């Protein structure tokens, strides 16, 4: 029996965990879940476990509201204590958060095998905390699962074929949630709504946040803005006394995010996950980042990227009207979890045979 520990801590990781956990359950894996507590709002954490048919975590570290160094260090320390006591074959980390990096470092120091789900993502911004987490996690992982051919090719270009690891393009596991929900038939085509989200560290610094909100305020004169605010964003808006001329909502569930994407005409976000979901649901999206997380969507003209500068945001938004094509299968065929399980089982069986 394969024994794994899933390490999660932020909303996108719960979304990715769900299909893989349930696929592993069908294949008789022994699984435990460690929640670092990085997202501490109940609507951004606890509700996801019930919504996605995942059991509550075996371990909850409740580490949040700290600076990057303190948060990552505290997580490493506490994860290490748990790993020392657990008999595990693989540690599975997801995406690009502090929880991802902390889980990887703690595991590697104890010579545990690391699986990185959503490996190879690059936007080449060295000052973006998520980019640092991605690169470092990839470098010390043993099995790397890529969401797209572009991510796979990034690892090829970086020389990963020469390293002691294996990497595979299995497609994007988040796509399975879209397929399972079967919601594409409910998409609104004549909406006047814009779903807007903003949470990246660089975007909630004073100057960037001011530019972004001023742009959205201008758009709010013509469109209904739907803004479920991340707790850290809400805190910065209050701290910098930045006024929104539109309603600020509390954090919401993933089902509700999908519903809002369907009900919107456009999506404006700095979330890599929401950009992909907008693409799957055939909604034009504008990502606000120094460099896009998913350049493959820019390349096929399914999304547009803008710097966090007011005029650039408004000019880019005007170009969203030109987006009409959404090519299929850039992120796989919706069978990522089973592909991962098959690869893990093969790796596990090979390891056992070599030990014999």
DSSP state of 321: G
In sequence order, which ranges of the chain are alpha helices (DSSP H)? Answer: 11-26, 46-51, 68-85, 98-109, 129-140, 149-157, 175-181, 206-219, 231-239, 254-263, 272-280, 295-299, 310-318, 336-355
Catalytic residues: 199
The three-class DSSP label of residue 116 is strand
Q: Which of 42, 59, 49 is nearest to 17 (CA)?
A: 49
Q: What are phi and psi of 169, to 5 degrees?
A: -90, 105
**CA distances in angstroms from 349 to 60, 86, 111, 138, 343, listed in the order given:** 31, 20, 19, 23, 10
Distance in angstroms (rounded) separating the CA atoms of residues 116 and 301? 28
Distance in angstroms (rounded) separating the CA atoms of residues 93 and 209? 30
Radius of gyration of the chain, Cα coordinates, nearest whole angstrom? 20
User: Which sign, positive or negative, has the C-alpha torsion 173, 177, 183, 187?
Assistant: negative
DSSP state of 31: E
Structure tokens at 261: 């994407």
Which residues make Cβ contacts (< 8 Å) with residue 259, sequence separation at least 6? 183
The three-class DSSP label of residue 3 is strand
């Amino acid at each position: 029996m394969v024994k794994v520990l899933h390490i999660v801590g932020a909303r996108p990781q719960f979304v990715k965990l769900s299909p893989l956990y349930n696929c592993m359950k069908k294949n008789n894996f022994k699984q435990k879940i460690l929640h670092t507590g990085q997202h501490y709002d109940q609507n951004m954490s606890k509700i996801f476990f019930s919504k996605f048919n995942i059991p509550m975590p075996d371990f909850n570290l409740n580490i949040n509201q700290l600076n990057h160094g303190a948060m990552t260090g505290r997580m490493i320390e506490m994860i290490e204590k748990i790993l020392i006591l657990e008999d595990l074959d693989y540690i599975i980390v997801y995406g690009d958060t502090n929880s991802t990096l902390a889980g990887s470092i703690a595991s590697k120091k104890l010579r545990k095998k690391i699986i990185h789900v959503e490996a190879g993502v690059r936007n080449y911004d060295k000052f973006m905390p998520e980019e640092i987490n991605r690169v470092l996690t990839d470098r010390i992982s043993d099995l790397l699962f890529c969401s797209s051919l572009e991510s796979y090719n990034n690892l090829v270009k970086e020389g990963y074929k020469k390293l002691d690891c294996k990497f595979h393009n299995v497609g994007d596991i988040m796509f399975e949630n879209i397929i399972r929900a079967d919601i594409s038939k409910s998409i609104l085509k004549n909406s006047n709504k814009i779903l807007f989200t903003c949470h990246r560290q660089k975007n909630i610094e004073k100057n960037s946040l001011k530019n972004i909100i001023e742009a959205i305020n201008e758009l709010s004169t013509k469109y209904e803005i739907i803004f479920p605010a991340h707790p850290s964003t809400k805190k910065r808006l209050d701290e910098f006394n930045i006024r929104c001329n539109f309603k600020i909502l509390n954090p919401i569930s993933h089902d509700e995010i999908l519903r809002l994407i369907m009900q919107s005409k456009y999506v404006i976000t700095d979330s890599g996950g929401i950009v992909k979901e907008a693409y799957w649901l055939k909604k034009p999206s504008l990502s606000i980042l120094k460099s896009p997380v998913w350049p493959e969507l820019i390349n096929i003209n399914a999304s547009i990227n803008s710097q966090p500068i007011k005029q650039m945001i408004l000019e880019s938004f005007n170009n969203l009207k030109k987006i009409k094509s959404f090519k299929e299968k850039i992120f796989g065929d919706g069978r990522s979890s089973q592909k991962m399980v098959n690869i893990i089982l093969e790796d596990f069986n090979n390891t056992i045979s070599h030990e014999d």
